[in-house]
Structure 1
Amino acid sequence: MFLLNALKKNSNEFILKLIESFFGKMSFMVFTLLFALICTRLYGPEIFGKYTYAFSLVSLFMIIAKAGLDNGLMYSIPKNNNKHISFSFIVNILLSIVIVVLLYVFIQDIYIRWMLPLIWLVSAERLFFGIYRSQGKIKEYYFINGFLSMIIRIGSIVGLYYVTGENEYSVALGVYISFIFSNVVYYIKNKKNFGEVNVDKEYLKYSIPLVFATMMSTIINRIDIIMIGNMTNESYVGIYEITFLVSNSVASLLIIFNTVFAPKIANLYHSGQIEVLQKLYVVSTRGLAIVALIITVIIIMNSEFILSVFGEDIVEGVTALNFRSIGQFINIAVGGVWLMLSMTGKTKFQLYANIFVCIVNISLNFILIPIYGINGAAFASMVSIVLINITGYFIVSRLFKVKVFKYI
């Protein structure tokens, strides 16, 4: 009876937060696609590709700057309240400065250099995301991130286009403005959570493996963009980025789910409600798999039409979109497997698996891109995503003694 009552209570609360996360993430996804559409229509796929290549590098090094502390805060806040918040942001600022300075020394491209300070802005926003998720304030976070900030970003690039014309710096400037706005608002709203800086080595020990695991995961997702940029041209980068964004409309289901599921895992785990956690994972993952299958089939059947909306040049990415969509379906069908491990303190599994799959991903991209271009990159991405998620599924099934699907 206790288990049923606990499951019902947690399920009702979970569903409410899931609905909030759904509308917030959908808003962000729609505006992100609109941002890409306007960029390709106004500035062309080449300038959009140049921005995408630079921002992919920013996203990669942002992982080091946030040092796994976004997940660290989700793990810590249920136990320690605001103890580690100030310390996390101090570490983030120091790491961002070091990373940006070092990259300025080694990177000569002026445009990429101009984008590098975004490493701090993007990583700081991720730390705020960790705070909001821990506090269950999903709606408040996405109102700023997925609505206000994106409106400012889109409005900025449109306004700058009519002032400067087809200037790649206008796209970057619009992104800067939106991230500065969101971080300022987040800080004002969370100022009371900042206090004494508590240096905690144990807290860092938990977070550090997540730095490498998350970095490997980001490389798996974004190294294809970087390698396409080096092996082909910026137009193909732009085309491939559109396939990435469209296929991620499927992946957004898992992101929405994990936004709520991560802090729930930590809360249930720390309170000893393991059976409730097991049930919640199984039921939620089955639902995700069904919805993901429907959306994936719709995207594959209408892939040419979807890409044509972004311009006739973008239709070349149909095969790449199909490969990426299949990979994202598997990603969603196994649920939040890696969060089940990281939010229960088992971070090393994710690190080892991501290192192995990252090597596989880079190797496949290196072999396939020169031969098949963006289709080769998409196939490599599909294989890597399937491999990492199937691995995570079997680890979770074994450790937590759960079986989501009847025969697997």
Structure 2
Amino acid sequence: MGLVQKDAFRTTVISYVGILIGYLNKGVLFLIILSTAQIGLINLIISIGTLFAQLANFGTVYVTWKFFPFLKNEEKRHHGFLPFVLLIVGTGIVLYSGLYILFRDQIQQGYIEKSPMFLDYYYWILPIGISYAFFIVLETYLRSLYKNIIAVFAYEVVLRLALTVILVLKWLDLISFELFVGLHSLLYIIPTMILVFYLGRINEFHLRVSTIQIPKRFKKIIFYFSSFSYINTLGGVWVSSLDVLMIAQFVGLKGAGIFATVVFLAGVLQVPFKSILRVSAPMVSDYWKHREMDKMKELYTKVSSVSLVIGLSMFLLCWVNIDFLFSFIKSEFREGIWVFFFIMIGRLVDMYFGINGSIFSTSKKYRYDIFFTVSLIIGVYLLNYWLIPIWGIVGAAISTSIALIVYNVGRLLFVWIAYKLHPFHRNQFVIIGLFVIAMMAGHFTQGLINNKWIQFLFESTLAIVLFFVPIYLLSLEKETVNYIKKGMAFVRSKFRRN
């Protein structure tokens, strides 16, 4: 867990720097400079572009995690693994670009009534989709080399700083909204180029097709695996993209703007979990390779326990202060309060079950994961189709939460039955109990103080006393407690030097 902690901490710090910049962009500048419909348009373009990238990716993410450890060999340039997967993705990009252009009229038909503005910016999907498709490949390749920092920095910090620049240009009326949309889409090339230069610098950017020395029999296994993992790769991105796509169709760009902004703010709470997952997922493949099931179980439990504490604590602090937090943005965004609640319920379950997806998708029984992923996609679509017309953007949040819970519970049970692996520890249930008590206390003390700043401090202190303090004093989650102690010791050492 030492490597996980070290890299996860670094990526978390970088991610939160990116989050601060992202909050400045989407939580402040977007709301000041753009209309809610324009915000919805930008997020619709991003959602479709992200979906395009995952479609074009052809499942190479899980292919890299599962098979790269077997082909890793610096002297043989890893048997040409990088140019091999880049060829696969390049083929996917050509295929889906053609389909996107060919079926333009059919795709646009779904947005003519509620989101007609999208039709004028249809082709700006492609720069985002193509750039992000290549970025995913290079990022996953670097993760397999246990080099996580540069990709996080490029995407979370550099890209968002570049967005800040063009937002300021739009604010000063130096560029039109039309030019802003175009520049926004072209910005996604920057992180990809940073990874290209970095791979070249560390002598890992091998593109010559002649270096591909993967045996034909092994290629067949890879293609067979990718045909299953391809659908699984789409599961997560389909959930996040489908909501915005269907809200734009049924409600309009304004609703899509509110929903996407709230989802972005909720995404802040998942940053530490994603950092842990980014580091631990490649380790799962190594454990499968060496059949180290004890280490796998230990990692599974620790990641789930740490993620549970992180997820519950951040959700608790936000929810008891939700009115305070939403008081700083436009009043029309208050509709998103319950979007935040239901989205976070689903994501908390996703965080709690930790790396079960990585364990499942890189195991010998990976074929069965397709049933869970297809069920997730169909479930989100049908629930959205039913609930969005009834409850609007809140209906989309409810459907996503229900689908994520069922999906994660199903995968958890399968891994538990098949491999006798589960993430549960008795202390976790005590932690959940403390969370419930703190939430109830926060509910009954709402509006107790007229001054919103004092109320905010009171609610936050109450949450810390009822939730954090017992966890620390009773060492209910040892990894988190040890991490806090190390941080406190570091701070004390700095003060002593001064």
Q: Distance in 1 between matches of 2:190 and 2:127?
A: 15
| Unaligned runs of at least 5 residues, structure 1 | 1-10
Residue aligning to 2:150: 140
| Unaligned runs of at least 5 residues, structure 2 | 73-77, 106-118, 430-498
1:304 to 288, 307, 323: 323
Q: Distance in 1 between matches of 2:329 and 2:90?
A: 37
Pairing 1:76–2:67 present: yes
1:111–1:169 CA contact under 8 A, matched in 2? no
1:125–1:183 CA contact under 8 A, matched in 2? yes
Matches within 5 A, 1:228-267: 228-267=247-286
SS in structure 2 of the partner of residue 353 of structure 1: helix
Shift in Å at residue 395 of structure 1? Answer: 1.6
Shift in Å at residue 29 of structure 1? Answer: 3.0
Residue aligning to 2:469: none
1:240–1:317 CA contact under 8 A, matched in 2? yes
1:308–1:314 CA contact under 8 A, matched in 2? no
Greater length-normalized contact order (CA 8 Å, ≥ 6 residues apart): 1
Residue aligning to 2:35: 44
2:23 to 17, 33, 44: 33
Q: Distance in 2 between matches of 1:350 and 1:221?
A: 19
Residue aligning to 1:8: none
Q: Distance in 1 between matches of 2:291 and 2:15?
A: 30
What amino acid sits opposite 2:279 in the alignment? V
Residue aligning to 1:16: 6
Shift in Å at residue 78 of structure 1? Answer: 1.6
SS in structure 2 of the partner of residue 116 of structure 1: helix
Residue aligning to 1:356: 375
- Residues 284-324 of structure 1 show CA distances to partners (whole Å, capped at 9, x for unaligned) of 21121122111112222222333343422212211111111
Pairing 1:64–2:74 present: no
- Residues 353-389 of structure 1 show CA distances to partners (whole Å, capped at 9, x for unaligned) of 0111221211111111111111111111110111111
Matches within 5 A, 1:49-198: 49-81=40-72, 82-83=78-79, 84-108=81-105, 109-164=119-174, 167-177=177-187, 179-191=188-200, 192-193=203-204, 194-197=206-209, 198=212
2:151–2:191 CA contact under 8 A, matched in 1? no
CA change 1:161–1:345 in 2 (3 A) is farther
Shift in Å at residue 345 of structure 1? Answer: 4.4
- Residues 310-351 of structure 1 show CA distances to partners (whole Å, capped at 9, x for unaligned) of 422212211111111111111111111111112334432322
Of all paired residues, the percent bearing the same amino acid is 17
Residue aligning to 2:387: 368
Shift in Å at residue 146 of structure 1? Answer: 1.8
RMSD: 2.0
Residue aligning to 1:392: 411
Residue aligning to 2:338: 319
SS in structure 1 of the partner of residue 172 of structure 2: helix
What amino acid sits opposite 1:148 in the alignment? V
2:48–2:125 CA contact under 8 A, matched in 1? no
**Deviates most, 373-382 or 69-78:** 69-78
Shift in Å at residue 49 of structure 1? Answer: 0.3
**Deviates most, 312-321 or 200-209:** 200-209
- Residues 67-122 of structure 1 show CA distances to partners (whole Å, capped at 9, x for unaligned) of 11123222222211233110111221221122112211222523122222321101
CA change 1:204–1:305 in 2 (3 A) is farther
SS in structure 2 of the partner of residue 290 of structure 1: helix
What amino acid sits opposite 1:327 in the alignment? G
1:254–1:336 CA contact under 8 A, matched in 2? no
Q: Distance in 1 between matches of 2:62 and 2:11?
A: 17
Shift in Å at residue 195 of structure 1? Answer: 4.0
**How many residue pairs align between the two structures?**
397
Q: Distance in 2 between matches of 1:369 and 1:147?
A: 34
Q: Distance in 1 between matches of 2:271 and 2:365?
A: 24
- Residues 140-186 of structure 1 show CA distances to partners (whole Å, capped at 9, x for unaligned) of 22222222222122212322442455615404413422x22221121
Q: Distance in 2 between matches of 1:366 and 1:300?
A: 28
1:243–1:324 CA contact under 8 A, matched in 2? no
SS in structure 2 of the partner of residue 224 of structure 1: helix
Residue aligning to 1:3: none
1:206–1:345 CA contact under 8 A, matched in 2? no
CA change 1:356–1:370 in 2 (3 A) is same
Residue aligning to 2:455: none
